Amino acid sequence: MPLYEYRCDDCQTRFEVLQRMSEGAADLSCPECGGSRLAKQFSTFAATTSTGGSTGAAAGRGAPACGAGFT
């Protein structure tokens, strides 16, 4: 189950939520202020793959291509 990160627009609190792929943010609310204006952030999964350049080692290579081939 993927981990999603959200940021509250009201108090700028960032928090992570485990969600199924098919679920949206409709039922989510900020754990700090209870607000529902949440901005979805890049997950920790995605963040590690697209911001290369800091290390020379190809540590991220070879990850399975999840979801590829779904029709």
What are the CB-based long-range contacts (under 8 Å, 24+) for 3-7? 3/43, 3/44, 3/45, 4/40, 4/41, 4/43, 5/40, 5/41, 5/42, 5/43, 5/44, 6/38, 6/39, 6/40, 6/41, 7/38, 7/39, 7/41
Q: Report the nearest approach of Zn ion to the CB of residue 67 (Å).
A: 31
Q: Report the nearest approach of Zn ion to the CB of residue 47 (Å).
A: 22
Nearer to Zn ion, 32 or 60 (CB): 32
- Tell me: does residue 17 bind Zn ion (CB under 5 A): no
Residues 24-53 that bind Zn ion (CB under 5 A): 30, 32-33, 35
Binding site for Zn ion (CB under 5 A): 8, 10-11, 13, 30, 32-33, 35
